[in-house]
Amino acid sequence: MTNQAFEEENDDLFEHHRIVADPGQAPLRIDKFLMDRIANSTRSKIQSGIADGFVEVNGEIVKSNYKVKPSDVITVSMPEPPRDTDVVPENIPLNIVYEDEHLLVVNKEAGMVVHPAYQNWTGTLVNALTYHFQNLPEMQGNEGRPGLVHRIDKDTSGLLVIAKTEAAMNGLAKQFFDHSIERTYYALVWGIPKEEKGTININLGRSLKDRRVTVAYEDPEIGRHAITHYEVLKDLRYVSLIKCNLETGRTHQIRAHMKHIGHPLFNDATYGGDKLLKGTQFSKYKSFVDNCFKIIPRQALHAKSLGFIHPVTKKMMQFDSDLPQDFVAVIEKWEHYVQYN
């Protein structure tokens, strides 16, 4: 199971464990059953994996309270195939905005994968980190991801904090687990939310139809608790610039939450934002939107600011970043359009 501090990108699942219950197996909760059979696992990690849809019994996703029965076939799958956790160091430049002996903060560009995974074993942020820094710590259960205590999606730009020492990793991981890290994202979304400010509080989990997609679940026993606070910064008639503060850090949280309330991120192909969702069908407008998609050929999401207590000095650290050029350009193009049309 992945550490709870992580925000993971979902790909196809690959079987890591296949366990057949004994014919004389007494009824036992599946989380307890797996704890006894998977090395280096904890009940909380197993429960998180079950909530994320990583565990199936006889081909069906189950809840943590499922009672294992005789001859049940339990499979534990992950978004990448089992492999060697060795990381190849690569001389890739890093945009470091802060560094001391315990940690560093980097501003990741869109298009860079954070850590090696299926179909992206090289060219990642972790490949670069292992070249520029030696002996970075690894979180238990996340071998092959030195320095990482959280992540952002490949096509999301913005700030990440990296641990350089065990003390920094443990301290930062606890803050992520406690949801005390301050994280602000800017997003361009389709439409204008009815409320200028709001909170989205609904569980998120894997879609049963497409395991790469995160969806909202009304049932509080399905998925994982997720809270996003948002505020509209600019009303651009057909789209809006919003600020999002994460209280939790779930897979694709902002993307899935904004889709759930009817405002997918602009040009987010995974969540339907790469289509014309607001405005007219006139060819001039459609051409304008297509040109906007070309300007920012990714979901319009940027991890703008990051705040945390330094795990060693105990001082409050606050970092902010400028919006990348493609994000600025598409906002300016929309501002010009709504002003003159």
Residue 111 Ramachandran class (φ > 0 left, ψ -120 to 50 alpha, else beta):
left
Q: Can you read off the two tokens belonging to residue 218?
A: 């009304």
Is 153 one of the catalytic residues?
yes
CA distances from 80 to 1, 101, 208 (A): 12, 32, 18
CA distances from 118 to 87, 113, 213 (A): 13, 11, 17
Are 296 and 266 spatial neighbours (Cβ–Cβ below 8 Å)? yes
Which listed residue (31, 153, 155, 268) is catalytic? 153
Q: Can you read off the two tokens belonging to residue 76?
A: 């534990």
Q: How many helices (H) and strands (E) does the chain have?
A: 7, 17
CA distances from 49 to 30, 37, 104, 151 (A): 12, 15, 29, 17
DSSP 115-181: S-BTTB-SSSHHHHHHHH-SS----TT-TT-TTBS----TT-EEEEEEE-SHHHHHHHHHHHHTT--
- Provide the annotated active-site residues: 153
